[in-house]
Chains A and B, each alone.
Chain A
Amino acid sequence: MERSYYIGLAEGGLRMPIGTHLVLHEAADVAAIELDGARLGDMVVRAAGRFNTPLAVPLMDLKLEKEALLAARGIAAAEIESFHFSGLPGAAPDFTLTPRMRATCEAIRHVAKHPGLVPMGMGIGPFSLMTKLIGDPITPVFLAGTGVTAAEDPEVALIERVVELGTELLLHYYSAQIDAGAKAIIVCEPAANLVYFSPNQLANGYDIFDRYVTAPMRRIKALFDARGVDLVFHDCGELTTGMIGRFVTLDPAMLSFGCSRLLWEDAALLPKSIVLYGNLPTKRFPASQLSVADVERLARELLDKMHATGHPFILGSECDVLSVPGSEREIMAKVEAFMKC
C-alpha cells in the first residue's frame, strides 16, 4: 500500500488500541473461536468496528510459532510450552501450519472480504522466537558479542541455528498470511531489547544486534517487499536509540514502541515516511492506581508533544491490550478514555 495511506490515517487523528484480545474475551468460547477462522475473523472485524479503525489487527499470540516449530519436530503438545532446546537441532523439517495458524490465516481471508478494512497479519520476530526456544539465550548472545564463535562455543552455535530455523518457519508462516490476503503484517520483536543486549557491549558497535535481529528481519522484509506487503514493526521492550536506528533501516510503514520510550524524542530519529504508533502504558490499565483521568492526561500530553514534532502519529497502546479477568470494565474504560482524547 502507499505510505500516504498510513500517514493519512495519522493526519486524520486515528486513535486505536491493539485491542482484539479485549473483544475476543467478551465471548464465552474463546478457545473454540481461536480455532475457527471465520469466527476469529469476525472478532477482528468487530474489534476494528469497536475501535473505529480500518486497520484490522489480528490477535497477538506470540506462542503460535514456537508451537509450530516444535510440533514439526515431533515434540509432544504437553511439553511444548516449557520446552527448550538443549542440543543443536537438526535441519529444518517441512513446516506445517498448526490449527491456530490456519485459523489466523482464515481470519485474514475473512477480513479481506470486508471493504474498507485493511487485512493485517501478525507474528513474532526471529530473535524473539529464538529466546522462547532456549533456556538461557542471554549469556550466549553476550558471549557472541565478545567475539566467541559458534565453532568455539556450543551455546553460541545453538542460538545461531535456532535463529535460522525460526526465520525459515516465519517466512513460511508470513507467506501463508500474505496468501490469505494480508496487506500489512505486524512483526513483534519484544525481546530485541536491553535485557538481551547489553548497552555496554552495543557501545562498541551493533554488530551482534545486526547479526541476530536486523539481518533475519531483513529476510522477512525482503519477502514483504517482494509481495507488496507493508511491515509494521513492534517492540515494546526497553530500547537504546541505536536499536531504533536499526529498526528504521528496515523501512517499516509503522513503528510501535513500549511506554519506556518518549515518542516525541524518538520522532527525530525517524523519517516522516514512518508513522509512529503507541505508546500509552496499557500494561498498567488493569491497575486501579492508574485512573481514567490519568490515562486522559497521558494521552493529551502525548498528543500535544507529538503534534509539536509534526511527525505522523497514531495514538494507541504500548502493546496488545489484554483482557484481565475481573478488570475488564476498568481496562475498557481506560481504552475508551484515550480514544476520546
Chain B
Amino acid sequence: MSTLSELAVAVEGGKRNDAKLITQALLEQGLKPLAIVEQGLVPGMASIGEKFKNNEVFVPEMLIAARAMKECMGILEPLLAAAGIKPKYTAVIGTVQGDLHDIGKNLVAMMLKGANFGIVDLGTNVAPDKFVAAAREHGAQLICLSALLTTTMPAMKLTVQAVRAAGLTSAKIMVGGAPVTQEYSDEIGADGYSQDAASAVDLALRLAEAC
C-alpha cells in the first residue's frame, strides 16, 4: 500500500516513474486528487525548496523534482478539472521584454505550481501589455517578472508602470532575477522581491493572501 509520504519522497528525489506509480496507486486506493496534490506533491516540492534555500540541493535537483511533480500532475489535473477544483491563486509569470532567459522564471513557475498556484506562463521577451492582458484575463492575484540582464531591467520598470496604469489594483507584482535587488524592486514600485525560487513561494503566498 502506497502512502502520501512515499509520494513526497519520490517527488523530492526526482523519481518520476516511482512518483507516477505511487500517484496511480493512491488514486486506486480511493484518495481524492486534491489530497494527493496537497498532502503528497506540495510537501515534496516544499521540502526540496527548503533544501534549495539552504544550499543543500541545487537547480538540477530542483528541476528533476519538478519534472516528477509535473508527471504526477499530468495524471491528476484532468481529474481535478473534472471535479471543478481550481487552484486557490493564479500567477502570471514571464521574463520581461528583451530578455530571453528562462531558467529562473521556469524555476519560480515550477515552485509556485508545486505550491498549488495556477500558473499562466507567458514565456520570455514579454511586452508589458501582454502581462496586463493576461493578468486581467485570468484574474491573477500575482504578476511575476523575471530579468537576467542589466540591460533589460528597465523593461521591468516599464511593466510595473503598465500594470499600475491599467488599474489592476487586485494584482501584486513580484520581481526577481540575477541583477535585481530589493532596492531596485522598491525603486520601481514592485510589491515584492525574491532572491531565489524557494523564497519566491513564501513571498507569493504572502502577497496573494494580502490581495
Contact = CB atoms under 8 A, between A and B. Distances in A.
Interface size, B (range)? 20 to 34
Interface in B55-73: 57-61, 63-64, 67
Interface string A44-83: 0000000000000000000000000000000000000110
B169 interface: no
A325 interface: yes
A142 interface: yes
A177 B205 CA distance: 52
B179 A198 contact: no
Interface centre among B64, B150, B181, B183 (most CB of A within 10 A): B150
A81 B178 CA distance: 21
Contact of A142 (B63, B149, B184, B187): B63
Interface centre among A201, A287, A288, A326 (most CB of B within 10 A): A287
Interface stretch (A95-103, A107-115, A133-141): A133-141
Contacts of B64: 139, 142-143
B124 A136 contact: no
Interface residues of A, number: 28
Interface in B91-150: 100, 103, 106, 124-125, 149-150
A195 B59 CA distance: 5
Contact of B154 (A139, A197, A326): A326
A116 B99 CA distance: 38
Nearest to A326: B154
B167 to A, nearest CB: 26
B149 A136 contact: no
A206 interface: no
B60 A139 contact: yes
Interface in A192-234: 194-201
Interface string A141-173: 111000000000000000000000000000000
B7 interface: no
Nearest to A199: B58
B149 A322 contact: yes
Interface of A: 81-82, 136, 138-139, 141-143, 194-201, 283-289, 322-326
15 contacts: A81-B125, A82-B100, A136-B63, A139-B67, A142-B60, A195-B103, A196-B59, A196-B60, A198-B59, A199-B58, A200-B57, A284-B150, A287-B183, A324-B151, A325-B154
